[in-house]
């Protein structure tokens, strides 16, 4: 289902009002598979194709930061076979996409407890992160073993250590300092958060960072999410009035 009746073209978008950072909760792979009597892993495979489409579209449109929620800290509680399949899929994705990321000047970054990933997955990530480290046009942030509460706990631990060593005075702890100690330290807050598959929840994603983010939930399952629907959401985003608690003058 499209969020707007006619899907806009890239030219219909206002370059002045482009979100600098789009974050996406890619949800619904399992339901997409179940509807087709396929197994969940086949849903994730199809979902990986949508990742490719949306990364391409984001680069074409001129979005500077795209953050994709690929695996949450809670997702470790899924059956081992599904977790392993997701990690293998990630490794395949990195292998098949690395040339395109390089050619399109896209930098890869990860946010989350990547130390919990297997050596093979970490090596595959490190390889592509290294290959793309000087790319400037867009950064693709993959949230892997990411949980916002764990990120906040880690930030508190980092700041507490600095207080103990005397590097930071508690009175100097500001919103900026907190922001800097999150995984997303140097990344601007998302302007736009999209969740597919219709669930009206945040599922432990970027809790601090989305304080003033515009939220869109679409019933479309992630494997069915298209470039056209993405453009439609961007068009609708550009029509929103972002007041940041102030009043229009």
Among residues 174, 118, 180, 184, the alpha carbon closest in space to that of 148 is found at: 184
Distance CA 1, CA 123 (A): 38
CA distances from 53 to 15, 44, 57, 170 (A): 20, 14, 6, 45
**Residue closer to Mg ion (CB basis): 54 or 108:** 54
Dihedral (Cα; 31, 32, 34, 40), 10-degree rounding: -80
Q: Which does 237 bind (CB under 5 to 8 A by kind): ligand IPE, Mg ion, none?
A: none
Catalytic residue (one of 2, 12, 39, 75): 75
Dihedral (Cα; 109, 140, 21, 56), 10-degree rounding: 170
Catalytic residue (one of 2, 12, 14, 27): 27
Residues 222-241 that bind ligand IPE (CB under 6 A): 222
**Residue closer to ligand IPE (CB basis): 75 or 114:** 75
**75 part of the active site:** yes
CB of 25 to ligand IPE, least distance (A): 5
- Residue owning tokens 């590097």: 167
Please report, as ranges, the residues that interact with Mg ion according to CB under 5 A.
Answer: 27
CA atoms in the 13 A half-sphere facing the CB of 191:
19
Residues 153-212 that bind ligand IPE (CB under 6 A): 197, 199, 201, 203
**135 part of the active site:** no
**Residue closer to Mg ion (CB basis): 27 or 151:** 27
Residues that bind ligand IPE (CB under 6 A): 25-31, 69-72, 74-75, 86, 197, 199, 201, 203, 222
């Amino acid at each position: 289902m499209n969020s707007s009746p006619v899907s806009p073209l890239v030219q219909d978008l206002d370059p002045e009002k482009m979100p600098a950072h789009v974050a996406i909760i890619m949800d619904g792979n399992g339901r997409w598979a179940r509807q087709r009597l396929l197994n969940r892993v086949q849903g994730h495979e199809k979902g990986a194709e949508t990742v490719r489409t949306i990364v391409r579209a984001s680069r074409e449109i001129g979005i500077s930061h795209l953050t994709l929620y690929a695996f949450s800290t809670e997702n470790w509680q899924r059956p081992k076979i599904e977790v392993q399949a997701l990690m293998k899929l990630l490794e395949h994705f990195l292998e098949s996409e690395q040339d395109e990321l390089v050619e399109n000047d896209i930098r890869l970054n990860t946010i989350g407890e990547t130390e919990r990933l297997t050596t093979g997955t970490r090596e595959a990530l490190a390889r592509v992160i290294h290959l793309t480290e000087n790319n400037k046009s867009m950064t693709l942030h993959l949230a892997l073993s990411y949980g916002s509460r764990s990120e906040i706990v880690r930030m508190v631990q980092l700041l507490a250590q600095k207080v103990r060593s005397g590097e930071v005075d508690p009175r100097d702890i500001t919103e900026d300092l907190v922001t800097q100690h999150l995984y997303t330290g140097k990344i601007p807050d998302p302007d736009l958060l999209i969740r597919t598959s219709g669930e009206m929840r945040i599922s432990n994603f970027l809790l601090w960072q989305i304080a003033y983010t515009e939220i869109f939930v679409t019933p479309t399952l992630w494997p069915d999410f298209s470039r056209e629907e993405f453009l439609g959401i961007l068009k609708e985003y550009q029509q929103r009035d972002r007041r940041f608690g102030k009043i229009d003058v």
